[in-house]
Homo-oligomer: A and B are copies of this chain.
Amino acid sequence: MTNKMVERITSSFESQSLMKTLGAKIHKVEKGNVIIEAPFLPTTLQQLGYAHAGLTFSIGDSAAGYSALTLLPEDQEVMTAEIKINLLAPADGELFRAEGRVVKLGKRLVVVTAKIHAIKDGQSKLIAIMQGTMIPVRVNP
């Protein structure tokens, strides 16, 4: 993983205002594997006081998408074509960690997965898994 790739992903991530609104940050960038974290915030909850599934989805989708981007040429961006989430437990914790991973880098599609953990009192618990498809898009310089 070159510094250039890390910079490119960090720069793209920082231009996503939703990620800022959710308090999300990039935690790790490796080839085919990106981790994004978001804290428990009073502004991102559902009706029972847990973090909203929309938060879980958003950081999982981003981690999966950026893991795909690490394997693409520099003139390409990536978009989510489709993704599915299975929620395993309420998002109960101080921190939520989404780890995206590339399963198959194809010529036209990139198949990805993500696992999202909630960290509470130092304990990590798997709260959601995702499986989806990213599509490379050429960007104009």
A2→B109 CA distance, assembly (Å):
32
CB of A120 closer than 8 Å to a CB of B: no
Write out, one digit per residue, whether chain A residues 23-48 have a CB within 8 A of any chain B CB (1) or not (0): 00000000000000000001111111
- Give the contact-size bracket for chain A: 35 or more
Which residues of B sit under 8 angstroms from A16, Cβ to Cβ? 45-47, 52
The copy count of this chain in the complex is: 4
Which residues of B sit under 8 angstroms from A103, Cβ to Cβ? 86, 88, 126, 129
With contact pairs A108-B135, A133-B82 given, residues A43 and B21 touching in the complex (Cβ less than 8 Å): yes
A108→B79 CA distance, assembly (Å):
13
A63→B126 CA distance, assembly (Å):
22
With contact pairs A84-B131, A86-B111 given, residues A48 and B21 touching in the complex (Cβ less than 8 Å): no
CB of A118 closer than 8 Å to a CB of B: no
CB of A70 closer than 8 Å to a CB of B: no
A133→B86 CA distance, assembly (Å):
8
- What residue of chain B has the Cβ atom nearest to residue A42's Cβ? B17
CB of A76 closer than 8 Å to a CB of B: no
Which residues of B sit under 8 angstroms from A46, Cβ to Cβ? 16, 18
Which residues of B sit under 8 angstroms from A17, Cβ to Cβ? 42-45, 52
